[in-house]
Amino acid sequence: FLGSRLRPHKVPTKEPIPPTEIVMLYLFAIFCFAAGPVSARQCDVTSLLQTPLVQGSGKKRLRQNAEIQQVQEQNLSARPSFAVLLTTYNEPSRTKMYEKRLNWWLSNTTLPIYVVDSHNSKFAEQLKSIRKFREYHFDQTPILGTPPRGGSTPAEILSMKKAFEVFKDEWAQYDYVVKVTCKYVLPTLTSAFASMSKGNAFIVQSTNYNHFTYPGWVDTECLGFDAKRMGQLLAEIEKQDPLCIENKVATLLWDSKSYSHQILHPMPVPEAYQTARGDGQRLPELLQSVAA
């Protein structure tokens, strides 16, 4: 009688992870560590993990979903935040060019956009209808003269210093402020920045990066600053002996303990937005042209 009611004891076994979840986690790992120039819109972690997060039920699945969400949140929080500072000298001959690029930054990104203009000339009001951005205008002539004494370097440093004085309280919420010369648009800036770490003094572009012979050279069309130390860093740049800002920044990078830096991956500049620099050179990409 008792024997007829007994049932074999089933030893609990660990349920294997479904192959689909293994694939999803593998793709997630690639997303976390890959450094390819893929836009943030193309690589959305939430979309990538959507399937394992919504399917299934029970305690095990809930635990797995919670773990995945925790990893996702940690990954996102580990990425540095940044605002973009577009530098301009908005004389009449450049206004159309600047406004075309400002329109692009406002229409094609969700990044916090700040603009500094050292010609003290306003931009078209219609740009404000695209979305909110912050701007500061001043006249560099009383300070530097016309043409600016010392060339473009004092003018470039002055613009960044003025912008920091005005916006530093707002910038304190970000890890970095990325100065971009407003001749350029950078569709892959967000994805390139995703591979950067927090805590560097500088984030530099890879074009003409020469840190192998002193004092070196670092192009500055795109230059990231520790947001909280930007004022101090600009003062240190200004004090360096070389005349050009590209040499001044490179000189600081030799002191890696105080001025750590990382190099951004190459970032293409769309052909319609390629504009000649002061030396006449056009940059199809902000890329590395000096072998390491």
> What is the rounded average pLDDT of the residues 140-148?
95
Radius of gyration of the chain (CA): 25
Q: Find tokens 């560099």 and name the residue.
A: 140
Q: What angle do CA 49, 84, 215 make, to 5 degrees?
A: 110
In this predicted structure, the answer to whether residue 148 has a pLDDT above a threshold of 80 is yes
Strands 202-204 and 176-181: unpaired
φ, ψ dihedrals at 105, nearest 5°:
-60, -40
How many residues belong to the chain?
292
In this predicted structure, the answer to whether residue 38 has a pLDDT above a threshold of 60 is no
Which pLDDT belongs to residue 76? Answer: 52
Higher pLDDT, 111 or 38: 111
Q: What is the pTM assigned to this prediction?
A: 0.71
Higher pLDDT, 113 or 4: 113
In this predicted structure, the answer to whether residue 150 has a pLDDT above a threshold of 70 is yes
In this predicted structure, the answer to whether residue 288 has a pLDDT above a threshold of 60 is no
Which pLDDT belongs to residue 275? Answer: 78
> What is the rounded average pLDDT of the residues 48-58?
50
Average pLDDT, the chain: 80
Which pLDDT belongs to residue 39? Answer: 39
CA distance 131 to 224: 23
Which pLDDT belongs to residue 256? Answer: 78
In this predicted structure, the answer to whether residue 197 has a pLDDT above a threshold of 80 is yes
In this predicted structure, the answer to whether residue 109 has a pLDDT above a threshold of 50 is yes
> What is the rounded average pLDDT of the residues 233-246?
93
Q: What angle do CA 197, 227, 257 make, to 5 degrees?
A: 55
What is the percentage of the chain residues whose pLDDT exceeds 70? 68
Name the pLDDT band for 55 (thresholds 50, 70, 90).
low
Residue 98: alpha-carbon gap to chain centroid = 20
> What is the rounded average pLDDT of the residues 116-126?
97
Q: Find tokens 């520790």 and name the residue.
A: 226
φ, ψ dihedrals at 50, nearest 5°:
-60, -45
Which pLDDT belongs to residue 1? Answer: 32
Name the pLDDT band for 78 (thresholds 50, 70, 90).
confident
